[in-house]
Amino acid sequence: MSNHTLKELSAQLAAGACSSVELAQDLLNKINKLNKDLGCFITVDEQRTLAQAGAADAQRAAGRASLLTGVPIAHKDIFCTRGWLTTCGSRMLANFVAPYDAHVVERCNAAGMVTLGKTNMDEFAMGSSNETSYFGPVRNPWQHAAVPGGSSGGSAAAVAARLVPAATGTDTGGSIRQPAALTGICGLKPTYGLVSRYGMIAFASSLDQAGPMARSAEDLALLLNVMAGHDARDSTSLQRPAEDYGRDLARPVAGLRIGLPKEFFSSGLAPDVQRAVESAITEYKKLGATIVEVSLPNMELSVPVYYVLAPAEASSNLSRFDGVRYGHRASEYSDLLEMYKRSRAEGFGDEVKRRILIGTYVLSHGYYDAYYIRAQKLRRVIAQDFTAAFSKCDVIMGPTTPTTAFKLGEKSADPVQMYLSDIYTIAVNLAGLPGLSIPCGFDGGGLPVGLQIIGNYFDEARMLNVAHQYQLTTDWHQRKPPGIS
Partner 1 sequence: MIPYTAFFFNGFFTLIMALKLDDVRRVAHLARIAVDDAEAEAALVQLTRVFGLIEQMQAVDVAGIEPMSHAQDMVLRLRPDVVTEGDQRALFQAVAPEIEGGLYLVPKVIE
Hey, what amino acid is at 150? G
Touching partner 1, residues 17-46 (CB under 8 A): none
* Shortest CB 323 distance to partner 1, Å: 6
Q: Which is nearer to partner 1, 329 or 480 (CB)?
A: 329
Is 151 among the catalytic positions?
A: yes
* Burial class, 97, CB count within 10 angstroms (exposed 0-12 / middle 13-18 / buried 19+): middle
Touching partner 1, residues 229-268 (CB under 8 A): 232, 235-236, 238
Q: Which is nearer to partner 1, 193 or 441 (CB)?
A: 193
Query: Which is it for the CA torsion 123, 126, 129, 132, positive or negative?
Result: negative
Q: What are phi and psi of 353, to 5 degrees?
A: -60, -40
Please identify which of the residues 76, 118, 189, 411 carries the catalytic annotation. Answer: 76
Is 286 among the catalytic positions?
A: no
Going across the sheet that includes 435-442, the strands are: 41-43, 114-119, 72-76, 166-171, 209-214, 186-189, 435-442, 448-455, 395-399, 257-261, 290-294
Q: How far apart are alpha carbons 394 and 463 in whole angstroms? A: 9
Q: Residues of 169-178 as b/e, b for ≥16 C-beta within 10 angstroms?
A: bbbbbbbbbb
Q: How far apart are alpha carbons 359 and 314 in whole angstroms? A: 7
Instruction: Single out the residue of 367, 387, 446, 472 in contact with partner 1 (rule: CB under 8 A).
Output: 367
Which residues does 237 contact at the CB level (< 8 Å), separation at least 6? 193, 195, 196, 197, 198, 230, 231
Instruction: Single out the residue of 15, 62, 242, 337 in contact with partner 1 (rule: CB under 8 A).
Output: 337
Question: Should residue 379 be labelled a site residue for partner 1 when binding is judged by CB under 8 A?
Answer: yes
Touching partner 1, residues 417-476 (CB under 8 A): 419, 431-433, 457
Question: Should residue 339 be labelled a site residue for partner 1 when binding is judged by CB under 8 A?
Answer: yes
Touching partner 1, residues 93-112 (CB under 8 A): 95-97, 99
Instruction: Single out the residue of 145, 336, 388, 472 in contact with partner 1 (rule: CB under 8 A).
Output: 336
Touching partner 1, residues 123-162 (CB under 8 A): none
Q: What count of other Cβ atoms lies within 10 Å of the Cβ of residue 331?
A: 8
Please identify which of the residues 175, 216, 302, 437 carries the catalytic annotation. Answer: 175
The verdict on whether omega for the bond into residue 343 sits within 30 degrees of 0, i.e. cis, is no
Instruction: Single out the residue of 15, 62, 242, 416 in contact with partner 1 (rule: CB under 8 A).
Output: 416
Q: How far apart are alpha carbons 322 and 343 in whole angstroms? A: 7
Q: Which is nearer to partner 1, 54 or 304 (CB)?
A: 304
Question: Should residue 206 be labelled a site residue for partner 1 when binding is judged by CB under 8 A?
Answer: yes
Question: Should residue 374 be labelled a site residue for partner 1 when binding is judged by CB under 8 A?
Answer: yes
CB 283 within 8 A of CB 474: yes
**Candidate ranges 7-15, 33-41, 348-356, 435-443; the one touching partner 1 (CB under 8 A):** 348-356
* Shortest CB 322 distance to partner 1, Å: 7
* Shortest CB 348 distance to partner 1, Å: 7
Question: Should residue 366 be labelled a site residue for partner 1 when binding is judged by CB under 8 A?
Answer: yes
Q: Which is nearer to partner 1, 142 or 348 (CB)?
A: 348
Q: How far apart are alpha carbons 262 and 419 in whole angstroms? A: 21
Q: How far apart are alpha carbons 439 and 451 in whole angstroms? A: 6
Touching partner 1, residues 273-332 (CB under 8 A): 298, 300-301, 303-305, 307-308, 315, 319, 322-329
Residues designated catalytic: 76, 151, 175
